[in-house]
Amino acid sequence: MNTELKLSAFARYAWFVLAYNIIVILWGVVVRASLSGDGCGQFWLTCGGEVVPSAPQLKTVIEFSHRVTSGL
């Protein structure tokens, strides 16, 4: 019984991780389709040289949110 409970908990976790990764991939499609890939400029790890953009445009918000969800 305890083994089944552990397997069930692991299965739920695995399904959650799969769903989360699919959402991140689909959000990447939104980034690509909306041409927001350069929303953070040519900076990687920071967005426009800042850790959190202070006055972002829509494309910056889209790109930054994708970076945050991809990094989790």
pLDDT, one tens digit for every residue, the chain (72 residues): 566 666 788 899 999 999 999 999 999 999 999 988 888 888 777 888 888 888 788 998 888 888 888 877
Q: Do 37 and 62 touch, CB atoms closer than 8 A? A: no
Q: What CA–CA distance (Å, rounded) separates 49 from 43?
A: 6
Q: Which residues make beta-bridge pairs with 50?
A: 47
Q: What CA–CA distance (Å, rounded) separates 70 from 63?
A: 11
Establish whether 4 is a catalytic residue: no
Work out the angle at residue 32's Cα, subtended by the Cα atoms of residues 18 and 46, and round it to the nearest 5 degrees: 85
Residue with tokens 């953070």: 40
**Among the options 63, 66, 68, 72, which is catalytic?**
63
